[in-house]
């Protein structure tokens, strides 16, 4: 297992895509799963990242990440040909893919990706379409420059709706607006799958709830091992504690306690700010 970086592309100021040599993961992974990686040295932390794409024949997986902290910053400084110390996966349960088609009507699935949340949405869209459904993507970003994987999403989906906060590309607004419109129609989506920033997932979930449209969110919580051992990723779903790493990462959005989930994400805020200063990676 070499974990070599084969291709590195900068998608926007803070967003990177890497193609890694990881044949075992490429072969086993299914839509919805993720990897955990450690960049280089013995002091690196374990960071979970979704698998945006994979090629089982070539033995490669693609990861997309935003530089939000010291570790992702360090990862972004690695170059093609270099190796990532550790890549483990595929972790988490795969997306529950089914064909919703009935005689005379094709199944209809809407995938919603906010920011780099488009990365996990991509294989999910591919899998639902391959299963026989019609797939609509709603891709949201703050501004045009931050829209990622547009070509691939157009290829994977039947329709793509792009929204930007500032209106610099596609429709001006938030993903919740077109999502609500799609749910309002006579013909409602059979399933909506949402991945993106936690607040956006919360509001997307609220948007579909009045229409009773089945909605799944892909959660990205704090975790260490990713195999059910630390419980750091726990989230309250339907009043019960679940582990994102082994019970998820996908859950029924209408059952998730988003407020607790969002608060828990801030657990190490103070520590991470202090580390950013010390690491010297952030000017």
Partner 1 sequence: MTAKERMSIPPQEMPQQDPLARARNMEEVALGYTAEMAKKEASRCLNCPAKPCVQGCPVKIDIPAFLAAAAEGDFARALAIIRKNSLLPAVCGRVCPQERQCQKFCTVGKMFKDVAKAVAIGRVERFCADNVQAEAGEKAAPTGKRVAVIGSGPASITCAADCARAGHSVTMYEAFHKPGGVLVYGIPEFRLPKSIVQKEIDGLKDLGVEVVTDFVVGKTRKLADMKKDFDAIFVGTGAGLPKFMDIEGENLIGVFSANEYLTRANLMKAYVEDRAATPYWHGRKVAVLGGGNVAMDAARMALRLGAEEVHLIYRRSEKEMPARVEEVHHAKEEGVVFHTLENAKRILGDDDGRVAAIECLKYQLGEPDSSGRRSPVPIEGSEFVFPVDTVVVAVGSGANPLIASTTPEIETDRKGHVIVDEATRMTTMPGVFAGGDIVLGAATVILAMGEGRAAAEGINQWLAKH
The residues of the shown chain that bind partner 1, judged by CB under 8 A, are 1, 24-25, 28, 38, 42-46, 70-71, 74, 85-91, 224-225, 227-232, 234-236, 241, 246, 259-260, 263-264, 266-268, 270-272, 274-275, 278-279
Please, which residue, 25 or 127, has the CB nearer to partner 1?
25
Please, which residue, 80 or 259, has the CB nearer to partner 1?
259
Least spacing, CB of residue 271 vs partner 1, in Å: 4
In three-state secondary structure terms, 70 is helix
Q: How far is CA 87 from the centre of its chain?
A: 17
Measure Cα distances from 114 to 100, 140, 207 in Å: 24, 5, 15
Please, which residue, 155 or 263, has the CB nearer to partner 1?
263
Q: Which residue spans within 56-190 are E strands per DSSP?
A: 60-66, 86-91, 108-114, 134-141, 159-164, 171-172
In three-state secondary structure terms, 66 is strand
Please, which residue, 199 or 229, has the CB nearer to partner 1?
229
Least spacing, CB of residue 38 vs partner 1, in Å: 6
Least spacing, CB of residue 6 vs partner 1, in Å: 18
- The C-alpha torsion from 214 through 251 and 258 to 276, rounded to 10°, is -130
User: Residue 11: which H helix or E strand, with range?
Assistant: strand 5-12
Strands of 134-141's sheet in order across:
171-172, 159-164, 134-141, 108-114, 191-195, 215-218, 250-252
Least spacing, CB of residue 130 vs partner 1, in Å: 22
Least spacing, CB of residue 233 vs partner 1, in Å: 9
Distance CA(219)–CA(196), nearest Å, equals 8
What residues contact residue 78 under an 8 Å CB cut-off, 6+ apart? Answer: 5, 8, 18, 39, 40, 84
Least spacing, CB of residue 131 vs partner 1, in Å: 22
Please, which residue, 87 or 207, has the CB nearer to partner 1?
87
């Amino acid at each position: 297992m070499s974990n070599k970086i084969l291709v590195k592309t900068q998608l926007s100021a803070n967003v990177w895509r890497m193609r890694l040599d990881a044949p075992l993961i490429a072969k086993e992974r299914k839509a919805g799963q993720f990897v955990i990686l450690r960049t280089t040295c013995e002091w690196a932390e374990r960071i979970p990242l979704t698998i945006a794409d994979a090629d089982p024949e070539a033995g490669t997986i693609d990861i997309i990440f935003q530089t939000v902290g010291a570790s992702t910053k360090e990862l972004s400084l690695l170059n093609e040909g270099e190796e990532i110390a550790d890549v483990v996966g595929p972790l988490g349960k795969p997306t529950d893919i089914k064909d919703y088609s009935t005689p005379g009507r094709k199944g209809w699935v809407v995938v919603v990706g906010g920011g780099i949340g488009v990365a996990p949405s991509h294989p999910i869209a591919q899998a639902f379409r391959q299963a026989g459904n019609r797939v609509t993507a709603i891709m949201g970003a703050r501004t045009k420059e931050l829209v990622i994987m547009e070509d691939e999403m157009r290829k994977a989906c039947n329709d793509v709706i792009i929204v930007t906060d500032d209106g610099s590309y596609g429709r001006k607004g938030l993903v919740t607006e077109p999502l609500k419109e799609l749910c309002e129609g006579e013909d409602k989506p059979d399933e909506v799958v949402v991945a993106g920033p936690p607040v956006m997932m919360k509001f997307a979930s609220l948007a579909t709830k009045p229409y009773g449209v089945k909605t799944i969110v892909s959660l990205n919580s704090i975790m260490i091992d990713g195999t059910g051992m630390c419980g750091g990723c726990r989230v309250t779903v339907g009043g019960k504690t679940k582990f994102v790493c082994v019970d998820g990462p996908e859950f029924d959005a209408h059952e998730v306690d988003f407020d607790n989930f969002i608060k828990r994400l801030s657990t190490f805020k103070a520590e991470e700010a202090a580390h950013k200063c010390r690491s010297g990676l952030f000017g």
